[in-house]
Structure 1
Amino acid sequence: MNSAEFLFVVCQRGAESALKNELAVSWPEFRLAFSRPGFVTFKLPPDHGLSPDFDLRSVFARSYGFSLGRLVGAHAETMAEQLWELAGHRAWDHLHVWQRDPAVPGDRDFEPGISTLAQQVGLIVAASRPPSVAPQRVFPVNLVARPGQQVLDCVLVEPGQWWIGGHQASTMPSRWPGGTPKIDMPDEAVSRAYLKITEALLWSRLPVAAGDHCVELGSSPGGACQALLDRGLIVTGIDPADMSPVVLQHPNFTHIKARGADLKRREFRRVKWLVADANVAPNHTLDTVEHIVTHRQVDIQGILLTLKLIDWHLADQIPEYLQRIRSWGYPLVRARQLAFNRQEFTVVALRRRPRPSNVRFATRRRSR
């Protein structure tokens, strides 16, 4: 039986209200307990019956787990000993330590990931573990967990304040430290869209393959196209704005200097994947994409959309956006605010279920 009394949830800085509103609808029995920018905890109802790998079914939760408590102190070594007093009674396979985001991704050159401080704290905690935890082997710190493994979480919320918890690895984000994949952006990357599309593909596990034809709407300056080209895809970028010369010179890239809504549908007849990341309201993007994918001469297998939340209140309409996409003949739809997203979220949709060896669209169960 799971006796945890609190749940911790990590989100993008600024997305707390959207997260709280979302969970108030899907989990009305949860009660808000503690909140800081990018970090929220909830009091769970008695006898909640949540399984260790339960699915929170949240767009805005980057990472979450069952809380074991909060530590406050001035010395990491002392706090590490206190951490094991809280968590040492359980068997753990991994330790994930990360800091709460200090800024919105992309602001002041900040990008999510494991900071030097978090890695140092992780090594201190691992070194102080009791013999009963991972005996006679190196204790993994901030590595990708395997499905089914038990992960001890340590979130550095404030200087000298750690929140401790745990979760069972299941989906891809739950396997990453802090729900953020480690992505090395090449020096020649033309924009941070490279990070977003790379994370989107890692999260969604879309079965894209070298030689597939992909079209991106709103492609300028070309960061996402660049990442797709690096994977061996044949890419067409559609945007009235200029593309980076680095992308233009690639032999597998074609630039059509136009808006997606203005193109004849025959331009999409051999396209397998459609990507869109335009700086417009969600319904504007959905209008353009709908006119393309519902045309009788077009058979696009999957779509990957970045929808801008011009106003945070648009988050309340996400269920309607997803249902609209399903109505186009794409029954397999998921949404997530990626770690490298800004005030936006990503949607992936497939027309047909791919082979199980390529991608899993199954979600974790919700047990009560």
Structure 2
Amino acid sequence: MDGPTDSTVIGIALPLTGRQKALGLEMRMAAEHVVAMINENGGVNEKRIDVRFFDDACSVVGGAASVRAARDAKPSMAAMFGHPCPSVANSIAPLYATERVFAFFTGTLATRGSIVVDVQPLQFRLTSDASLASIIADSLNSTPKDARVAIVRDRTAYATSLMQQVVGLLVKNGRAPVLIETFAGGDKDFRALSERARLAGITHLAFAGFPAEALLLFDDLGRVVPGLQIVAPDTLAVPEFTLAAGVSLTRVSVVLPLAAAAFPRVAEDKYKRLSVAGQLPSRNALTIVAAIEAWAGAAAHAKSFDAQAVSATLVQTAQPTVMGDLVFDVRGTALLPSVAVHRWLDGAWRPVGRSP
């Protein structure tokens, strides 16, 4: 059956060159697939969707060039999607607002802490439903009331910031850690630290440090505090740790992004073309698909491509997408289940007790 002959244009800005080129190319392929799917089903408001791609190179300079291109293409370009690098999206959001261009930021999911503070008109984004720190804190908060929690970290800025947030959330919930330990990067002797954990009766521990340090510490802890359970960020989900951890793997949980398989709609027939050689698409690819689907659904519901009308519809009604029915708040943010606690099962890190 012939599709619609009239068309409307959307822009998609992705890193098609530079260090994030592979990410951009995968997202481009996913975008092309979903647009083809929409057009095969009659388009939107009896119009075919045409796409113009822009290379933002995952840089602020490239992002700003995309804004200018979108500005110059008005009113024929109905919306701009992409900018998967959060730092770029945050930097150029005010430029899109100034030019009154409808922008839908998508891709690498930022945490709540990196969302643009100021509410910008005509802007939407997909972001994670919780920060890494809150997932770790929730994991510790869910332990039995008599559990005794320790925080162990190295002195890097990342580990310090992460664990300060975790401690604050634990204290807020009345579960202050009974032991907080720091160690110097490159430490090889953790016997004293392990002994302090034993004397304090520690049952659960949050760790932030490098894999090499984790291997040494967890080996000591395993001998001194055999029943100890450990939760850590995704820095430990690397072969350097998993191939050498041995029995420690049975005691460790890590916080990782949910894979595409966590979203049941990916298995539907209409999305099969997103898979390549039997491999499901990445979360980044799914976000560009979901963003375009949400916009198209809102435009159809509003019977208009007008940016104000589409924006109002996105906030007022849920839009069905590959990642579930998306609901946007007044800031234009859709919170997605994005990270969860994983355990090592059957040779892989698998999410525990979490589904969208």
Q: Is the shorter-chain TM-score for this pair beyond 0.5, marking a shared fold?
A: no
Q: Which has the larger radius of gyration?
A: 2
Q: Which has the higher helix share?
A: 2
User: TM-score, normalized by length of structure 2?
Assistant: 0.37
User: TM-score, normalized by length of structure 1?
Assistant: 0.36
